[in-house]
Structure 1
Amino acid sequence: MGRRLTRSFGSTPALRSLLVIVALAVGISLAALPRLERYFLLQAAAREEATLRLATESLRGALNRTDVLPRLLAERPILARILRDPDNQGLVPYANEQLRQTALTLNVADIWVMDGDGLTIAASNYRRDTSFVGRRFDYRPYFTDAMTEGRGRFHALGTTSGERGYYFAAPILDGTEIVGVVAVKILMDEFEATWRDSPNTIVVTDPSNVIFLSDRTDWHFNSLGPIPEPALDTIAATRQYPLDRLQLLQTERRALTQGHDLLTVTGGDGREEFVTSTGLIAAVGWRVSVLTPTGPALLQARQTMALIVLVFLFAGLVAVLFLQRRARLVERLDQQRQHREQLERRVAERTADLNSANAQLVQEIEERKTTEQRLRQTQTELVQAGKLAALGQMSAALSHEFNQPLAAVKAYAENAATFLDRGRPEDARKNVGLISQMADRMASISKHLRNFARRPQEKIGPIPLLAVLGDALDLMAPKLKAAKATVHYDPPAQEIMVMGGRVRLQQVLVNLLSNALDAMEMMDRPEIEIAILGDGTRWRVEMRDQGPGLTEDTLTHIFDPFFTTKSPGKGLGLGLSISYNIVRDFGGTLAARNHPEGGAVFIVDLAQAPDQQAVAAQ
């Protein structure tokens, strides 16, 4: 099969044309490789512009910060005094120590004071073996410039310390007379230490083309170009650099674009090639150059070139496969025409079966909807039946609550009639007022019973939690009183709006209160603790009884329908299941746990209403 496929490819004119196109595309891509390499080199140089700006600005900032220090130090009176009296053995040591402390504070390398002849009188490094005290620096330009122009700046290798640094100097005046010069030196090693963390090479060259700073220590004092003879004479006269270390690097430079060159350096490490980005620090005449190795950019260019070639090859292969498959497709079209009618018949048969299945599915969906409606209706009936059952359980206590006021009303009425007969209308009026109070009490009880017994609405919205809990406590008051129960409840000062339904939430709370009493039916003085807790987004009603608590098995099944721990005849086990579903419909949760000090705790967790000011009477 493989040999036939090869012969077929070799004999296909389209295949030969495609191979020619692919070969031509590869040739064009190889011819474009130099431009591609140049593009990636420029991209690499552009990415390092930020490194160049950072290096240039850090150097410029360090120089600018230190430039003002000599002028400020020259204003110290003690410096003029020691220059007037350099042999004062009490004053000079004090000045040395002051300069040392100042150097430490300002984080500079050295500070020293020279007289008009360049002789150092005091220095911050007076304790070191390489102390400047007693040494003459009149050959340094920073000294002569400070004496003649009022300001001196110079960079060089220290002749005493052997450390490269930048020098700043200012004249010391005594009145209007220049009596000496104060100089400050900063080291440049910290910049090179920072640059070594970069994959690039950073060099700083002075106007003489000498490399003064670089993270390549082997390049120090080398030159990227020829040093003019006058510059060599100046270097020798000022002892700026050691002449024996001045060497010319073998370099070759080609321009890539404005601001970027291709630099080739040949030395002890072999041949190295860089893309250069150069900036200028005009105040000191330095040029800062970032040398980016060309290896990664050239590798990226070649990888891109290889990828282009592979794409062309892949495209040619795909085209060949496409043409061959197209030929095979033409051969199969005839077979497909023969099978089309048979396929259409099968599709018609399958479509009939699918229509039948769809009709059956629609019927099942309608039946499911009907079942769900019946389930909701049944749940509503169970909720109403639960409330009526609760009213039945409270009937004895309610009867007692109604009988007491009625008996009192009758007694007050008889007393009022007697008082009227005796001509005591004020006492009769008081009895009539008491009769009105008894009537209000019975009306309040009747209102709570009417609200509790009515069918709840399905609507869910903001409801007042404290008012609902108060209604539930009022509704359960007769039963609580009959059981001699004490309710510990300290309501918050402000109303709390939560999401739910007023009547259904009242039923949940009544059910929990009733269960708490049932759990403590063997106690003489049952106690119920109610607490309301919240975090600003949700609110919890925690209701604790003093009963025996809940077993592990009870905690697992307590909210299951028809599960009850009560004795036969005292409950169907639907109350907590109904309450659980009611709270879940509100977007909340109903949970139970045992209290560490005994008894069970039931927690109703509800979401806070978006608008605390809204009151929905549901």
Structure 2
Amino acid sequence: MATSHSAAPPRRARRMALGAVLLAVALTLAGLAGRWAGDAATAKLREAGAQRLDGYAVSLDNLLSKYEFLPGTLELNKDVIALLQRPDDGTLRNEVNTYLEQLNRRSGATTIYIVNLQGVTQAASNWRAADSFVGDNVAFRPYVRDALRGVPGMFYGVGTTRGEPGYFFAKGIFYEGRMLGVATVKVNIEQLEKGWEPGADQVLLTDAHGVVLLSSVPEWKYRTLAPLTPEVLRELNASRQYFLHALSPLGLRELRRLDDRASIVTLPQDERAPVLSQKRSLAPRLWSFIYLSDLSSARASARNTFAFALLLQALLLMLVLYARQRRRAHSQLEVMVAERTASLQQMTQSLSEEIRVRCKAEEKLRQAQRELVQAGKMAVLGQMAAGITHELNQPLTALRTMSDNARVLIERGRLEDASSNLSTISQLVARMGELTGQLRQFARKADASLTAVPVAAAISAALFLVERRMEQERVSFRMSIREQDVHALCDSNRLEQVLVNLFANALDAMEAMPNSALRELCVNIGSANGRAVITVQDSGPGLPAAVRAHLFEPFFTTKPQGKGLGLGLAISEQIIREFGGELRVEAATPGARFIIELPLAQQGTA
């Protein structure tokens, strides 16, 4: 008896030690499984965040590159050169002010102004405003100092006159090899914030010093990622880059660095909820996009996996204990063993069902994430396509201006200046080629030769591109074909481009009359005098005679600011004219009527 009692405590101690070891192993394995699940969810967030950062970077680059060439075109204006040579000529100053005002309105820039060699503004697009830039001394601004040294200036800063932030492009104005002044264009980049809706994720744009320029959280603007050094503060104060803003630290705290582009940080408003911070550097401006992703889903995935791993190990342990108990069981415990078996089977079934439901939910989550990533890709591609389309309009305008100037310079014998003009034209053409190359895999190149194009098929193809919008805006479509198999001698792609532009303009016109009972787009096909005739008519408010007289002029538009640059109809008229046809507008009741006339062709004509 004494031996039996003395052996019990060591056996109990061994069982307790074994239980402690098994518990530690189970917690360790569950922790590793939870860590793996959390890392996998974080990796998916990083992939989605990286794609968003690429989209934001492309949008910003498209916006800024659209205006980068604009300062260089101002030295081609003879009135600008004359004003810098004769600054006391008040009449000339008014003419330059009016020219800059019109150019600013057409280009969509914030402000355009001319500065002399002393840094004093001689003319500005906002010359009519009470706080006009005319007469201001901006020689302290870095972009002006760079341009006066012959280096193109690029600078982001808050205006000292109006307090409006913007990105500045500056370039020296030269005449006969001598600098006369500086042309400056100010662009508002805050319009990018409109697409950054506040939510669980945030996006920031910072400069080289870590100062927040744009943010989806308004109160974070002009805060800093880290305290600025005294040297940087003195530099910023000297340039007045962030005029009257305190530049206080934002309060982001780094918990763990993943790599050079990603880390786990806490936000100032909630330090208990860490977020994923991803960085995308922007050269050559030394700016950075920072995307902050909510990690609550990743943490939930880690917790769920940890709990599931513990449950699975508990089940395995119970199965092992059950097997041992069964081996030890005696005949009198068979009923109890049967009940225990039924209980374990029920538990196993419940766990299996839970596993099945969880796997199905995770598969749905992965599918939703794949669809969201694909939708994000398509949205970025749409923004790129829209941005590239609008970017082509600005170089085309510059090409026309500089080609006209080159012809004048050649007639005057100024071959060196004309050669410089032609070099700039070549650079613009090369840039346009790079831009259109980005969409090469999404659209086939138009054939330069003219072929017999079935007009009805071209209208159907163009209608397909606006059909969804017509359904949303409840616009009915009616096509009348007076003659079957009408073929026009043209290029099908460019004809469809013209038709899409006319359809979109018609929908825009009818959109301005949301309460109108009649919302109809009508197209008629016929022929007359050896020409194919296409008529496009809408039920919108119509066009006054004064508007119709200027409708095909470049940059003339009746749409609100930001809705268009007024180049669509001008380009369409040029395309039809290249086909040997005519595009004109007529008064109609109701709405407006556009008529396309093209040379008739026999089917199969090359």
TM-score class normalised by the smaller sequence: 0.3 to 0.5
TM-score, normalised via structure 2 length: 0.47
Higher relative contact order (CA 8 A, sep 6+): 2
